[in-house]
């Protein structure tokens, strides 16, 4: 028997809907989630805020919600109804809406500077971005030279980054290998100055987080559709997000840009700042360096490598 637990954000807040979660009190791992779209949410809000009763038909006829005076039931096609006391639902739902309105961030769709025809053809946009002709003299196409010369930067010049370079840095993340190729990560490309300031605070007040290009890499284990325990999927997602960030970092160097990887973050503050329910793994801050510096020393390769 599932008990109503909470109203929560959808995984990506741009959806502007919510998740209603029921849990099994005898088994922490078991839960049932009903996803409400923005329209569903606003219909339910109308009923509950007016303290009335009624029926909400979910978008695409996925099911319905019946709000009665004492109990409400959520009827999703092909599943047993989930119930909750109407007073409990109203309290949690209205509180969610109140908080939600305070923090809502509208993500918009990423529009690359490349204009190409049918972008829905798999990888066409990605290939176009990665292989487009460029007059740029600073483009370093020798991977090993990029590796040998990369150096982190904490002082960025005011100079704007060209759109095509941003496209490439983002596209590089999309080329990273991921567990089962499920791409268990998301990239938040932060343009909003206020959000950048919030990220500075979320990163222990490291001021250079407010960089010309700020990318937040988040884990999204729910994308990893492999039949393994949740801990394994979580491990895959952090590895996916980390490799993608490293790919973008190397791409930035190849483009004559510099970056700083930020791992010292308060995860919840980052999530609040960018408006997601997904846990961040790192922030990558990119720009033109004020000064180009030599790479930092590393361990002797002989000490690092252990031959077995
Ligand atoms: C997992 C990880 C976390 C890091 N976190 C921070 C950070 O929070 N703040 C910062 O200034 N640098 C951070 N860095 C950058 C490292 O300090 C930097 O990469 C290291 O000193 C080596 O310098 P290099 O990148 O120039 O080779 C982080 C790097 C990694 C890989």
89: its two tokens: 């639902």
Nearest to 271, CA basis, from 19, 103, 110, 106: 103
Helix (H) or strand (E) holding 23: strand 18-24
* Per-residue model confidence (pLDDT) at position 4: 96
Q: Find the residues whose C-beta lies inside 6 A of ligand 1.
A: 151-152, 154, 206, 260-264, 295-296
Q: Which tens digit of pLDDT belongs to each residue from 57-103?
A: 988 778 899 999 999 999 988 888 999 999 999 999 998 888 766 54
74: its two tokens: 């959520």
Distance 285 CA to ligand 1 centre (A): 11
- Longest Cα–Cα distance of the chain, Å, equals 73
Q: Is the pLDDT of residue 302 over 80?
A: yes
Give whichever of 16-20, 77-81, 179-183 has the largest mean pLDDT. 179-183
CA pseudo-torsion sign 87, 92, 98, 104 = negative
* Per-residue model confidence (pLDDT) at position 39: 84
Q: Which tens digit of pLDDT belongs to each residue from 237-295?
A: 999 999 999 999 999 999 999 999 999 999 999 999 998 889 999 999 999 999 999 99
Tokens 């980390």 correspond to what residue?
Answer: 242
Contact predicate 56/44, CB 8 Å: yes
Nearest to 189, CA basis, from 220, 160, 218: 218
Which atom of ligand 1 sits closest to the CA of residue 151? 26
* Per-residue model confidence (pLDDT) at position 27: 86
Distance 10 CA to ligand 1 centre (A): 31
Pocket test for ligand 1, best of 214, 248, 262, 294 (most atoms within 8 A of CB): 262
How many other CB atoms sit within 10 Å of the CB of residue 248?
A: 26
Atom 6 of ligand 1: nearest residue by CA position: 262
Q: Helix, strand, coil proportions of the chain in percent (round to 5)?
A: 40, 25, 40
Atom 19 of ligand 1: nearest residue by CA position: 152
Its pTM stands at: 0.72
* Per-residue model confidence (pLDDT) at position 103: 45
285: its two tokens: 């801050």
**Nearby residues of 208 by Cβ (< 8 Å), 6 or more positions away:** 153, 154, 155, 156, 260, 285
Nearest to 100, CA basis, from 15, 3, 218: 15
Q: Over 157-207, what HEC string results?
A: CCCCCCHHHHHHHHHHHHCCCCHHHCCCEEEEEECCHHHHHHHHHHCCCCH
Helix (H) or strand (E) holding 109: none
**Residue ranges of the alpha helices (H) in 17-68?**
38-49
Mean residue pLDDT of the chain comes to: 90
Mean pLDDT of 219-234: 91
Distance 305 CA to ligand 1 centre (A): 21
- Neighbouring C-alpha atoms within 13 Å toward the C-beta of 195: 23
Contact predicate 183/222, CB 8 Å: no
For the chain, which residues make up each domain, given as ranges?
3-103, 124-287
Q: Is the pLDDT of residue 121 over 70?
A: no
Distance 284 CA to ligand 1 centre (A): 10
**Nearby residues of 132 by Cβ (< 8 Å), 6 or more positions away:** 114, 164
Mean pLDDT of 114-130: 74
CATH classification of 124-287 is 3.40.50.720, yes or no? no
23: its two tokens: 């849990």
The alpha carbon torsion through 121, 125, 130, 132 (nearest 10 deg) reads 110
Atom 30 of ligand 1: nearest residue by CA position: 261
**Nearby residues of 114 by Cβ (< 8 Å), 6 or more positions away:** 125, 128, 129, 132, 164, 167
252 or 14, which is more confident? 252
Q: Is the pLDDT of residue 47 over 80?
A: yes
Mean pLDDT of 3-30: 82
């Amino acid at each position: 028997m599932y008990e109503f637990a909470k109203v929560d954000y959808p995984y990506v807040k741009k959806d502007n809907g919510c998740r209603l979660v029921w849990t099994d009190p005898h088994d922490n791992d078991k839960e049932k989630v009903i996803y409400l779209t923005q329209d569903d949410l606003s219909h339910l809000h109308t009923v509950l805020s007016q303290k009335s009763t009624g029926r909400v038909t979910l978008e695409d006829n996925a099911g319905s919600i019946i709000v009665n005076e004492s109990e409400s039931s959520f009827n999703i096609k092909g599943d047993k109804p989930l119930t909750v006391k109407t007073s409990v639902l109203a309290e949690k739902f209205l509180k969610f809406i109140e908080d939600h309105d305070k923090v809502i961030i509208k993500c918009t769709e990423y529009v690359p500077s490349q204009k190409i025809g049918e972008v829905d053809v798999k990888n066409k946009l990605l290939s176009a971005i990665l292989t487009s002709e460029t007059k740029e003299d600073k483009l370093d196409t020798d991977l090993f030279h990029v590796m040998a010369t990369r150096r982190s930067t904490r002082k960025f010049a005011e100079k704007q980054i060209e759109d095509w370079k941003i496209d490439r840095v983002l596209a590089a993340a999309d080329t990273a290998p991921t567990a089962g190729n499920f791409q268990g990560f998301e990239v938040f490309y932060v343009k909003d100055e206020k959000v950048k300031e919030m990220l500075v605070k979320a990163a222990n007040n490291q001021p250079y987080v407010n960089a010309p290009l700020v990318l937040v890499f988040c884990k999204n284990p729910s994308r990893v559709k492999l039949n393994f325990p949740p801990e394994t999927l979580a491990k895959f997602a952090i590895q996916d997000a980390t490799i993608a960030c490293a790919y973008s970092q190397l791409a930035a160097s190849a483009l004559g840009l510099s970056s700083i990887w930020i791992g010292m973050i308060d995860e919840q503050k980052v999530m609040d700042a960018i408006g997601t329910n997904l846990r961040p793994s790192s922030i990558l801050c990119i720009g033109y360096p004020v000064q180009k510096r030599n790479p930092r020393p590393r361990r002797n390769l002989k000490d690092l490598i252990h031959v077995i």
